Structure 1
Amino acid sequence: MATEGRAAILEAPGEPAVIRDIVVDAPGPNEVLVKIVASGVCHTDLTVKVLNGNGMAFPIVLGHEGAGYVEQVGEGVTHLKPGDPVVIAYRVPCENCPACRRGDPRHCYMALRPGQRIHRKSDGATCSQVLRCGTFATHTVVHAKAAIKMPEEMPLDKACLIACGVVTGVGATMNTTPVAAGSRVAVIGCGGVGLSVIQGAKLRHARQIIAVDVNPTKLEWARDFGATHTVNAKEVDPVQEVRRLTEDGWDGGVEYAFEATGIPKCTEQAVKMLAYGGTATTIGFPAATDSVNLNLGDMATGVYWNKAALHVCHCGDALPSLDFPLLAQLYLQGKLDLDSMVTRKIRLEDVEDAFHQMETGDVIRSVIEF
């Protein structure tokens, strides 16, 4: 049985998101229909808009940081039932690619996806769903393994943040590049992902966490979330300052540097911040034409002599079935701060304003409440 609802949709390149009535088909085999309660507004949704759909067919239902309640289950779904609270994962191992077959699902090449079940009511056009989710909608259909059950006591307006920004940042420190206890960490970019990296580094018991940004407000947030030092890259050379703050008689530097901006220069800076044998991790979403220039031969900061490594983080290299419940428990135990990450509560109609605030204002996350 089809379900009617509303969604924030991109209808054409270069146009703002608009609110439209939708019709959502019943879930197919191994799928679930989820009634969305809350959805975070992530920078990736803005990027999809700016990149004119980023290759997806229009119309496009935005949103991928969603939480809600299962409303219908498709054939073959036995681990979920109507009424279960869930967070939607945009990246669930496909189980068939080379990485999955060799027992490395955290590096899955693909992801399980649902059929296209959402239609614009006015003309029946089939809608694409950002990252297989489409959570800027009252209802969506996802693969059943992408609906991760939450504890009953977990508030869904906070749980939705786990779906992308939080698992990406915390997961970078736990899965992509596990931070060793007692180590030194630099975090470049203190938006929602960067602040989650800081929380992850704190959970991993790093002894020094240096936050780098050009926005004084974000640097204040960084201290609130666990940074021990802050560096304003508008006022000083961030590489020199990080190396000064970590000087230990061996040229200074951090064991781990995380770049959470998507700016190529920041990746270059992350590598130059490393101590001998350190690892830089790039997290931010780059453009197709972006490239970096890495020095090899500098004795202190060159990749060769400094024996530097570079990792790439996609969604915290998460296994949602394991990592989402872990993050929920950390929140419920008071060890992971999600409350302070919600800067604004908004309506579905306020999505365009949320995008504007993301570009021009001081906001960690706007959360749509349905």
Structure 2
Amino acid sequence: MLQGYLAGIRRLTLRQVPVPEPGPGEVVVKIRCALTCGTDLKTFRRGHARLPVPGPFGHEAAGVVHAAGEGVERFRPGDAVMWVPTAPCGQCPPCRRGQENLCRHLFDPERMALGAYAEFIRLPAPIVARHLFAKPGHLSFEQAAFLEPLSCVVRGWRRLGRPEEVVVIGTGTIGLLHVMVARALQVPRIVAVGRRAAGLELARQAGATETLAADAQEALPRIRALFGGEGPAAVIEATGRAESWQAAAQWVRPGGRVLLFGGLAGGTWVHFEAFRLHYEEVDLIGSFHYTPADVREAYDLLARGRLPVAMLITHRRPLAELPEVFQALDRGEAIKVALYPEGAETGGAGEAGGPARPGGGDGPGQGSSSQTLP
């Protein structure tokens, strides 16, 4: 089979490897669609603290079960499925405290499902048990592949709560997903801030009530003016730039909350004004990865058709063009690309690919009720 392999920084290749065989509790999936993401682009450019380089590349995908290992009862060949690439152990101290997104074993190589830029992928038993789900028939494989980034965004909203107004800095994929979730949560006022006209237009389509074309460092007076001189109740930083982290803490009103969502490179230090944090009780909130509850909520949002995620895909390309796709991403010529192995159909919500039966050890099946975000 064809598999994308990151051999080193900016050294992305395609190689031929055997189709994997499932072990006990494991499932091998035939990829129908894989998505590029900002994390993969960062890894391509500079490596990643939690993702192995060199190693198989890609982690957002959806497909059809090719083979199921011994002991797998919820899925069989032909089932259309969606998943996220990690699952907590449930036994380490963070897991026992309910902080499953901080599990000490989330990124153990043998427990992760990496290599989504391929024709087939093997899902380890912990993921099959907790984070593999039946794909509803009305969802396209493109839409289903958004489960992982959406789970991360849902985690951020659990940390933030549900403010009466929010400003989102950044109109890339993650910023737009935050706008969509805010809309789904019926936040009355959603302001998107970005530098690109195309991104701001997408933000309006995603549900922003207002947009502002500005750089984070120069927008402070304009943001405060939009909110009566004080600033908004909440700000979400979704660019992963240190200067935007600092700006977000200045934009928010006294008593407001700032979700620092966009990750920074290891070793980065960011400075905040002590007066704001102490005398004005501004809360700075971090968010990382997701818990099983976040994944279930993200699954439910997708299954209920609450989010127009397919609009975020800017290009569709065959898997064979993977190296060229990342060169284009590196040059800023694309935002999110759907990659299709040879013979896979592109687009369309009619990619059912098999019956949708309940899946995932503690995940939702058909007809599951919505979880409630704060």
TM-score (norm 1): 0.83
1:213 and 1:316 mapped to 2: Cα distance? 26
Higher RCO, 1 or 2 (CA under 8 Å, sep at least 6)? Answer: 2
Q: Indicate the residue corresponding to 2:339 in structure 1.
A: 368
- Which SS does the other structure have where 2:64 is aligned? strand
Cα pair 1:90 1:132 within 8 Å, conserved: yes
Cα pair 2:143 2:302 within 8 Å, conserved: no
- The question of 1:141 aligning with 2:109 is answered no
Change (3 A) 1:234 1:104: closer
1:239 offset after TM fit, Å?
2.1
Which runs of structure 2 are paired with 1:321-336 in the superposition (5 Å)? 322-331=296-305, 335-336=306-307
Moved more, 150-159 or 360-369: 360-369
Change (3 A) 1:111 1:53: closer
1:25 and 1:148 mapped to 2: Cα distance? 20
Amino acid across the alignment from 1:66: A
Q: Indicate the residue corresponding to 2:309 in structure 1.
A: 338
1:257 offset after TM fit, Å?
0.9
Change (3 A) 1:104 1:138: same
- Which SS does the other structure have where 1:205 is aligned? coil
Change (3 A) 1:296 1:199: same
Change (3 A) 1:235 1:37: closer
1:235 and 1:72 mapped to 2: Cα distance? 49
Change (3 A) 1:320 1:296: closer
Change (3 A) 1:193 1:272: same
1:320 and 1:147 mapped to 2: Cα distance? 14
Q: Indicate the residue corresponding to 1:355 in structure 2.
A: 326
1:356 and 1:330 mapped to 2: Cα distance? 35
1:55 and 1:99 mapped to 2: Cα distance? 17
1:306 and 1:318 mapped to 2: Cα distance? 34
The correspondence for 1:10, drawn from 6, 9, 16, is: 6
Cα pair 1:216 1:232 within 8 Å, conserved: yes
Deviation string 1:35-57 (CA, Å, 9 cap, x unpaired) is: 11101101111111212465755
1:255 offset after TM fit, Å?
1.6
How much is the aligned-residue C-alpha RMSD, in angstroms? 2.4
Q: Indicate the residue corresponding to 1:120 in structure 2.
A: none
Deviation string 1:138-164 (CA, Å, 9 cap, x unpaired) is: 111112133222213321122112222
Identity %: 26
Q: Indicate the residue corresponding to 2:362 in structure 1.
A: none
Q: Indicate the residue corresponding to 1:177 in structure 2.
A: 160
- The question of 1:150 aligning with 2:128 is answered no
Amino acid across the alignment from 1:208: R
Q: Where in structure 1 do 4 or more consecutive aligned residues deviate above 4 Å?
A: 53-58
1:15 offset after TM fit, Å?
4.3
2:53 and 2:251 mapped to 1: Cα distance? 42
Q: Indicate the residue corresponding to 1:65 in structure 2.
A: 60
Change (3 A) 1:113 1:77: farther
- Which SS does the other structure have where 1:23 is aligned? coil
Change (3 A) 1:356 1:264: same
Q: Indicate the residue corresponding to 1:90 in structure 2.
A: 85
Cα pair 2:147 2:299 within 8 Å, conserved: no
Deviation string 1:9-63 (CA, Å, 9 cap, x unpaired) is: 112x234311110124312222211111101101111111212465755541111
Unaligned runs of 5+ in 1: 117-130
1:53 and 1:235 mapped to 2: Cα distance? 26
- Which SS does the other structure have where 1:303 is aligned? helix
- The question of 1:280 aligning with 2:251 is answered no
The alignment of Structure 1 onto Structure 2 pairs a total of residues equal to: 337
The correspondence for 2:96, drawn from 89, 94, 101, is: 101
Q: Indicate the residue corresponding to 2:285 in structure 1.
A: 311
Deviation string 1:323-343 (CA, Å, 9 cap, x unpaired) is: 243022232xxx310221121
The correspondence for 2:238, drawn from 246, 260, 265, is: 260
Change (3 A) 1:265 1:21: same
Cα pair 1:36 1:69 within 8 Å, conserved: yes
Cα pair 1:7 1:61 within 8 Å, conserved: yes
User: Whose strand fraction is larger, Structure 1's or Structure 2's?
Assistant: 1
2:54 and 2:210 mapped to 1: Cα distance? 45
2:51 and 2:186 mapped to 1: Cα distance? 41
1:112 offset after TM fit, Å?
7.4
Q: Indicate the residue corresponding to 2:347 in structure 1.
A: none
Which runs of structure 2 are paired with 1:234-245 in the superposition (5 Å)? 234=215, 237-245=218-226
